[in-house]
Amino acid sequence: MKLLVVEDEAKLADYLRKGLAEEGYAVDVAANGIDGLHLASLGNYDLIILDAMLPGIDGFGLLAALRQSKQTPVIMLTARQRIEDRVRGLKTGADDYLVKPFAFSELVARIEVLLRRAAGTSPAPDALVLVLADLQVDLARRRATRAGQRIDLSAKEFQLLTLLLRRKGQVLSRTEIAEQVWDVNFDLGTNVIDVAIRRLRNKLDLPFERPLLHTVRGMGYVLEERQS
């Protein structure tokens, strides 16, 4: 999942970038409205966190321009004193807003709600559980099990597994995995993905009889059940 943060306060922007990366999101940051609009229009973001008060174009102007072509979910950040900003933000097409200062956990909760809503309107709780053979991944609880045994995964490993599982049976290239799981602007060492795959495989497949994660030579990786 890729997020764009448009925020001119460098400290807050940095805090959000780091925190959201730890939650397993790929994050781009723009420090003013013009860069923000440029990235938001061109990039393929799953959600945008948009400060209302920005140099260049402010958040409302950016949102109004963006809504002409894109319906990317937007959470607006507004200042406490400016109640009219929230109304204006929602009218312009923001999906949600948070008043500064806000708790990081609240931002994460709002992001999850909007991403879930975007994935399909109010899915049933069990739609948030992905299944392949004896593997189950509970997206809401961020929990993976195989044959009923809990698999402990880092945020990135969880995201990698979720990506492969959502696209089970399809071969994913390293480039595609890098784009979806890591920030594309992050200069990836060539073996970062291979290392992550190996770690995931050690936890996911090694303790069990039948492997699910397969390497397709020269192409990438696929998660599927193979009859042997």
Contact residues: Ca ion, CB under 5 A: 8, 51, 53
Q: What share of the chain is helix, strand, coil (3-state, %, to 5)?
A: 40, 20, 35
CB of 207 to Ca ion, least distance (A): 49
Residue with nearest beta carbon to Ca ion:
53
In terms of residues, how long is the chain? 228
Alpha-carbon gap, residue 77 to 165, rounded angstroms: 33
Complex with Ca ion: residue 8 or 134, whichever CB lies closer: 8
Reduce the DSSP state of residue 134 to 3 states and report it: coil
Is the preceding peptide bond at 101 cis, omega within 30 degrees of 0?
yes
Q: Retrieve residue 193's tokens.
A: 């993905």
Complex with Ca ion: residue 24 or 59, whichever CB lies closer: 59
CB of 7 to Ca ion, least distance (A): 6
Complex with Ca ion: residue 51 or 157, whichever CB lies closer: 51
Complex with Ca ion: residue 78 or 162, whichever CB lies closer: 78
Complex with Ca ion: residue 51 or 96, whichever CB lies closer: 51
DSSP letters of 163-213? HHHHTTTS-B-HHHHHHHHS-TTS---TTHHHHHHHHHHHHHTTTSSS--E
How many C-beta atoms lie closer than 10 Å to residue 208's C-beta?
A: 15
CB of 63 to Ca ion, least distance (A): 14
CB of 59 to Ca ion, least distance (A): 8
